[in-house]
């Protein structure tokens, strides 16, 4: 049964859906709402997923987001960074990263704005984007969908998109989830397509907030609503402090 939920909760469920069918692999969410999503997927339709405390420990029960270091953990395994890198090369991982810029073919930038040689704004650097995107599935989460984020060309390619896939790479950009909708690359040339818009969002609004031409199917579905079970898990178990609302404002 579905009854609604806030925009943040719709986004969390859309993030959870990214891991559906992945089986026994590590879910590596970056950011609050992807973390809520991964833990929700684990508690509902993807119980084989491996989830972590956001640090080096695999947990058999999800921690609430924002839990401090002293919060008890149901530890079932150990993945310090060296081991996580092994898993990454091995391919048993699906990461959901942020994106300061993402383009039509799913190239992602978290490194810098402006020319790399002397950036206008230095950001994080490449981080794991180059390795993630050629070794295992990658998705992106964008809490502030705008033409400044969804750009024609990214200034620097951290995560590799569909127009730059190297031969032999294990490359898949699964979905981009934003505060407005869900996007995939299920088109003949792997350019970005609207998969669904969140309840209350018009397709035109999405097109306007995107800095390149999106493929828009004639019938764009609405992103599914959280079920009652999902809502209570989000509100009572995974994010009782409501940290999700700091990432996406109520629509």
Partner 1 sequence: MDKRTSEAEAVAELRDGMTVGIGGWGSRRKPMTIIKEILRSSVKDLTIVSYGGPDVGMLCAAGKARKVVYGFVSLDSIPLEPNFRAARQSGTIEAMEVDEGMLQWGLRAAAMRVSFLPCRAGLGSSVMDINPDLKTVRSPYADEELVAMPALPLDVAFIHANRADVRGNGQYLGADWYFDDLFCMAAKRRFMSCERIVDTGDFLKEGSEQTLKINRMMTDGVIEAPGGARFTTNPPDYQRDEELQKEYATTPWEEFGPRWLSL
C-alpha dihedral sign at 188, 210, 216, 21:
positive
Interface residue with partner 1, options 60, 74, 124, 251 (CB under 8 A): 124
Q: Which of residues 7-66 bind partner 1 (CB under 8 A)?
A: 55-57
Q: Which is nearer to partner 1, 152 or 204 (CB)?
A: 152
Cα–Cα distance, 68 to 180 (Å, whole number): 31
CB of 24 to partner 1, least distance (A): 22
CB of 142 to partner 1, least distance (A): 15
**What's the angle, vertex CA 61, arms to CA 65 and CA 82, rounded to 5?**
80
Q: Which of residues 152-191 bind partner 1 (CB under 8 A)?
A: 156-160, 164-171
β 57-59/51-52 pair status = antiparallel
CA distances from 74 to 17, 55, 61, 203, 225 (A): 24, 13, 6, 43, 30
234 sits near partner 1 (criterion: CB under 8 A): no
Interface residue with partner 1, options 111, 142, 176, 248 (CB under 8 A): 111
3-state SS assignment for residue 28: strand
CB of 130 to partner 1, least distance (A): 4
Q: Which residues bind partner 1 (CB under 8 A)?
A: 55-57, 69, 78, 80-82, 85, 88-89, 111-112, 116-131, 133-135, 156-160, 164-171
């Amino acid at each position: 049964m579905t009854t609604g939920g806030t925009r943040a909760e719709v986004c969390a469920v859309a993030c959870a859906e990214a891991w559906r069918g992945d089986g026994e692999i590590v879910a590596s969410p970056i950011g609050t709402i992807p973390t809520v999503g991964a833990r929700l997927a684990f508690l509902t339709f993807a119980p084989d997923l491996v989830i972590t405390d956001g640090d080096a420990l695999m947990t058999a029960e999800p921690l609430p987001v924002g839990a401090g270091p002293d919060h008890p953990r149901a530890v079932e395994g150990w993945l310090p960074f060296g081991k996580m890198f092994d898993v990454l090369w091995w391919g048993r991982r699906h990461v959901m990263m942020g994106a300061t810029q993402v383009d039509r073919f799913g190239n992602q930038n978290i490194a810098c704005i402006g020319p790399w040689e002397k950036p206008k704004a230095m950001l994080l650097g490449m981080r794991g984007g180059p390795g993630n995107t050629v070794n295992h599935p990658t998705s992106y989460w964008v809490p502030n969908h705008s033409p400044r984020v969804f750009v024609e060309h990214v200034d620097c390619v951290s995560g590799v998109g569909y127009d730059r896939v190297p031969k032999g790479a294990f490359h898949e950009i699964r979905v981009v989830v934003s505060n407005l909708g869900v996007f995939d690359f299920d088109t003949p040339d792997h350019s970005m397509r609207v998969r669904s818009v969140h309840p209350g969002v018009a397709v035109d609004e999405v097109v306007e907030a995107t800095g390149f031409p999106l493929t828009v199917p004639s019938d764009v579905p609405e992103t599914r609503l959280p079920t009652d079970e999902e809502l209570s898990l989000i509100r009572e178990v995974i994010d009782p402090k409501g940290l999700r609302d700091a990432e996406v404002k109520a629509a």
